[in-house]
Structure 1
Amino acid sequence: MFNAAKKLTQSDDPVTRSKVAIVDDTGSYTYAQLLDDARKVRGALRGNTIKGSNIAMLMPNGYEYAAVQWGIWAAGGAVVPLSPMHPERELEYFITDSDARHVICHPTLQANLKPVLERLGGTVQLMSSDEVMRTSETRDTKDTEIDENQRALFIYTSGTTGKPKGVVHTHASISAQVGALHKAWKWSTCDRLLHMLPLHHIHGIVVALYGALWAGATAEMMPRFDADRVMDRLIDGHQDITIMMGVPTMYTRLLHAITEMPVKRRQAASLAVRRLRLTISGSAALPTSIFNRWEAATGQKMLERYGMSEIGMALSNSAIDPASRAVGIVGKPLPNVNVRLVDADGTDVIDQPDKPGMIQVKGPNVFYEYYGLPEKTAKEFTSDGWFITGDVGARNADGFYYILGRQSTDIIKSGGFKLSALEIERELLEHIDIVDAAVVGIPSEEWGEVVAAALVLQPGRSVSINELKPWCYERMARYKAPKAIRIVATLPRNLMGKLDKKAVKAMFL
């Protein structure tokens, strides 16, 4: 990433040198400014023993986030991104688990950290971002020599099945991930990304922000997701946005915002979104209803892809062939990424159409380690070096992959059948009264497990299990239909909109 910026700023073309890298609520910033401010951060860190250290940062979404992150890299450190949305308990855990001894924090967020740092008794140094970016130590433009295989970025897992693990990526694995997406999604310097994702996860950091900056494109960053503000920007702003990325929950809210508009405004919204080159959804399975409603409202056929913290993105639908995108399909392997499907007997079933298997991945995109957990890291790889994702999927006759769910939470073993919770959720979301759904398996002496569903309903509506069963029987095999339901106001989700299936299952136990 840092080298990509230097290449842009060292160009003989003055237009290239003045290319805008990031736009936020405070203004527009060129790649030359970004590189210069990153070196200021490096200069402020120079007095500390930084090379090879893990440095935490707590910054709002915006230009300074990128400048601080690049500055840590320029000083030879690894970045541990924290989120303003994390409670104190999680902030403390991420700082201590990563062995961070420095935290660079924006002045507006220091109150979040104060009680944490007090409990840590002075073992962690707080550095204010406004101070490190004011340093004048930028005359020496010789950056710290960085080994591409050294630690670069920590991404903490959601922790829904245990304590969050620090997924460590190297400069090499990040470059491999972003380079593959650059080719697959045809990123160019002409692209302008509307960035509305949190910046503590692989989606917001690597796929979105790094994707734009690697290409020499422009990232227009919103401080947080706001559906009305997104639509106002697309309709009333310059028609220069080309790419938008989000999670299914965001697209649900955008659709709601569109449907609430007066007719003329709704038509303008449809035209504005239709102009985009790509709308991309990830981090959670996209419901059938949202895929279809988004296309009907905007003319955009959503591009879905598949990945996770440990591997970045591994599969993606085509950026240039919208007709090949379909509900539930996450595409084909990205450049230089190897994917195979392995059944319970250890047999590769990739050449058997629609045969389920564990998704295993190998390639330069795969993470380096779970920090401080060598045994856990080794356990997640096969003897021949494939990373075991824990997700079950299949490949259809045309070579496109689809995901059946997490083996631990989304594959329900009932009466000898292996059922996909994601498949059942997609069907339930077609019900006119169901707004959101989470399907889990609960223990049964007779069947091993039975299907249970937590449901969020339209306001003022009600659904009983006896009313739901006949509807389900028309759409799925009887053994897939829920045997128990709970009506809830909201479903438990993490900051990226991913369902917490452990908490859902607890509703029935």
Structure 2
Amino acid sequence: MFRAAKALAHSPDPAERARAAVVDDAGSHTYAQLLADARRVRGALGSAGAGGASIAMLMPSSYEYVAVQWGIWAAGGAVVPLSPMHPARELEYFITNSDARRVICHPSLQASLRPVLARLAGSVELLSSDAAMGAAEPGCAEDAEVDEHQNALFIYTSGTTGKPKGVVHTHASIAAQVSSLHEAWGWSASDRLLHVLPLHHVHGIVVALCGALWAGATTEMLPKFDAGRVLSRVVDGAQDITILMGVPTMYTRLLQAIHEMPAARRQAAHDAIRRLRLTISGSAALPASVSRQWHEATGQTMLERYGMSEIGMALSNDAADPAARKIGAVGKPLPGVDVRLADADGADVSGQPGTPGMIQVRGPTVFREYYGLPEKTASEFTPDGWFITGDIGVCDEDGCFRIMGRQSVDIIKSGGFKLSALEIEWVLLEHPDVSDVAVVGIPSEEWGEAVAAAVVLRPGAALDVDELKPWCRQRMARYKVPKAFIAVDALPRNLMGKLDKKAVGALLGD
């Protein structure tokens, strides 16, 4: 990751040395400054990250996030990104599950972390990011020797077992992901990314942030997604943004804001967004209606792609030719990535247009392991080494893939997040008035899938199901909280007692 920064920091051209790496609410920060601050963090960590040891970080979306992330990598450590959106119980789980023994935290977020660390009874050390970045830069300007195959990044994702799993990427797999996207999407130092994505998922960290910095481009970071602020920056600010990435929910909200504008303002938004080089949607399927509305409102043909935490990006529509992009399709395999479809018997049906099959992926972008789960890791690969994504797809006569859906109904893709229905059910069952619950995803143009729950209350309970929303917000991230609840007398089950989630979805308006 330091290649572009080192080249720019030592360039004989003063303009190159002054190139902005990250712009945030605090100002503009050059690649030379980023490299220096990362080395200060490295010095503060000492040998704590040696050999790919796990180091957690809880930082806002800002320049400081990047400096801390790079500092952990410079020290040889593996980054475990935590999110301010995570409640205490999830922060504790990610820290302990990853075996992190140190957490670098921004001063503004330490209040939420201290009770967690107190429960861990001193086994995890807190290092304030301001202290780390304020340390003297080490006399040695050389970074730690890092084996490209050692742990570099943990991404926590939910699976059908309900418990989040730590997806471990190496420096080699991250480099392969970024290199593939650079070749496919034409990243260059002249690009300027408007970054509005969460920074604890592969989309925000690798696809967006690493993608820009690897190229020597500029990343302009907003603290969080805000449709009004995004449009104000793109329409009223300097006309230098070239790339916008988001999840379908974000584009839906941008469209809502554009449609509410007066006619002259709406035209100005159209003209400004049309000048962007790429608008990219991912992390969930983009409804065809939203894609068409986006084109009508902005003149932009959305670039859809497909990936997941375990594989980075695998498929993408054509970045160079908007006319070649197909609405509802996620494109063709990216450079260096092999993709095939397998039927129920394991036979390759990729060459049979229109025949659905399980999407399987192979190549250097694929993750190393689910941390601490060797049997689970092994079960997710075929005997000949292909990763089984759990997504069903079809390939057309042009070799372009479309996603048909998940194999498991217990995975919900909502607002760009992949959620475990079982994990949400387990939390709801902790409520003293809840005796049974089923969580499903129901179609939503705004969210892709909206989390919804059917709840059976205990006899005599006076609970209004709407009261469960604030109760849930205290125990899980807001994006996991069901957006709809219904109370039912009993959940639909078969004679063997197995829950019929298709019937549950029908109850909730699927």
Q: CA deviation at 1:288?
A: 1.4
Q: CA deviation at 1:233?
A: 0.6
Tell me which residue corresponds to 1:254.
Answer: 254
Q: Structure 2: any 5+ residue segments left out of the alignment?
A: 415-439, 447-468, 487-500
Paired letter, 1:236: D
Secondary structure in structure 2 of the residue aligned to 1:399: coil
Tell me which residue corresponds to 1:120.
Answer: 120
Q: CA deviation at 1:503?
A: 9.4
Q: CA deviation at 1:289?
A: 1.3
Larger RCO, structures 1/2 (Cα 8 Å, 6+ apart): 2
Q: CA deviation at 1:501?
A: 12
Q: CA deviation at 1:502?
A: 13
Paired letter, 1:391: D
Tell me which residue corresponds to 1:302.
Answer: 302
Tell me which residue corresponds to 1:293.
Answer: 293
Say whether the 8 Å CA contact 1:42–1:75 is kept in structure 2. Answer: yes
Tell me which residue corresponds to 1:188.
Answer: 188
Paired letter, 1:203: H
Q: CA deviation at 1:160?
A: 6.4
| Separation (CA, whole Å) in 2 of partners of 1:216 and 1:125 | 34
* The 10-residue stretch of structure 1 (493-502 or 238-247) with the greater mean CA deviation from structure 2: 493-502
The residue correspondences of 1:14-413 to structure 2 (distance < 5 A) are: 14-46=14-46, 48=48, 50-159=50-159, 162-409=162-409
| Separation (CA, whole Å) in 2 of partners of 1:374 and 1:73 | 25
| Separation (CA, whole Å) in 2 of partners of 1:280 and 1:130 | 34
**Offset from partner CA, 1:378-406 (integer Å, 9 cap, x none):** 11111111111111101001110000011
Tell me which residue corresponds to 1:470.
Answer: none
Tell me which residue corresponds to 1:13.
Answer: 13
Secondary structure in structure 2 of the residue aligned to 1:57: strand
Say whether the 8 Å CA contact 1:51–1:75 is kept in structure 2. Answer: no
Say whether the 8 Å CA contact 2:85–2:478 is kept in structure 1. Answer: no
| Separation (CA, whole Å) in 2 of partners of 1:402 and 1:15 | 44
Secondary structure in structure 1 of the residue aligned to 2:168: strand
| Separation (CA, whole Å) in 2 of partners of 1:235 and 1:173 | 37
Aligned Cα root-mean-square deviation (Å):
2.9
Q: CA deviation at 1:53?
A: 1.1
Tell me which residue corresponds to 1:441.
Answer: none
Secondary structure in structure 1 of the residue aligned to 2:203: helix
| Separation (CA, whole Å) in 2 of partners of 1:311 and 1:52 | 20
Secondary structure in structure 1 of the residue aligned to 2:364: coil
Say whether the 8 Å CA contact 2:87–2:477 is kept in structure 1. Answer: no
Tell me which residue corresponds to 1:469.
Answer: none
Q: CA deviation at 1:500?
A: 8.1
| Separation (CA, whole Å) in 2 of partners of 1:20 and 1:300 | 27
Q: How many residues end up aligned between the 2 structures? A: 443
- Structure 1 residues 304, 497: closer, same or farther in 2, change over 3 A? farther
Paired letter, 2:261: M
Tell me which residue corresponds to 1:485.
Answer: none
**Offset from partner CA, 1:313-371 (integer Å, 9 cap, x none):** 00000111111212210000000000010000111000000110100100000000100
Q: CA deviation at 1:410?
A: 8.8
| Separation (CA, whole Å) in 2 of partners of 1:455 and 1:80 | 32
Percent identical pairs in the alignment equals 68
* The 10-residue stretch of structure 1 (332-341 or 40-49) with the greater mean CA deviation from structure 2: 40-49
| Separation (CA, whole Å) in 2 of partners of 1:278 and 1:294 | 13
Say whether the 8 Å CA contact 2:160–2:408 is kept in structure 1. Answer: no
| Separation (CA, whole Å) in 2 of partners of 1:146 and 1:181 | 23
- Structure 1 residues 373, 456: closer, same or farther in 2, change over 3 A? closer
- Structure 1 residues 343, 214: closer, same or farther in 2, change over 3 A? same
| Separation (CA, whole Å) in 1 of partners of 2:33 and 2:382 | 45
* The 10-residue stretch of structure 1 (355-364 or 321-330) with the greater mean CA deviation from structure 2: 321-330
| Separation (CA, whole Å) in 2 of partners of 1:456 and 1:285 | 11
Secondary structure in structure 1 of the residue aligned to 2:163: coil
| Separation (CA, whole Å) in 2 of partners of 1:456 and 1:46 | 48
Paired letter, 1:407: Q
Q: CA deviation at 1:456?
A: 6.6
Paired letter, 1:257: A
Q: CA deviation at 1:225?
A: 0.4
Q: CA deviation at 1:134?
A: 0.6
| Separation (CA, whole Å) in 1 of partners of 2:311 and 2:269 | 35
**Offset from partner CA, 1:110-165 (integer Å, 9 cap, x none):** 01101111111111000000000011133210211000000000000035651010
Say whether the 8 Å CA contact 1:154–1:169 is kept in structure 2. Answer: yes
Instruction: Tell me the TM-score normalized by structure 2.
Output: 0.82
Secondary structure in structure 1 of the residue aligned to 2:280: strand
| Separation (CA, whole Å) in 2 of partners of 1:305 and 1:89 | 33
Q: CA deviation at 1:495?
A: 7.1
Secondary structure in structure 1 of the residue aligned to 2:164: coil
Say whether the 8 Å CA contact 1:247–1:497 is kept in structure 2. Answer: no
Secondary structure in structure 1 of the residue aligned to 2:273: helix
Paired letter, 1:405: G
Say whether the 8 Å CA contact 2:360–2:387 is kept in structure 1. Answer: yes
Q: Structure 1: any 5+ residue segments left out of the alignment?
A: 412-420, 426-451, 459-489
Tell me which residue corresponds to 1:429.
Answer: none
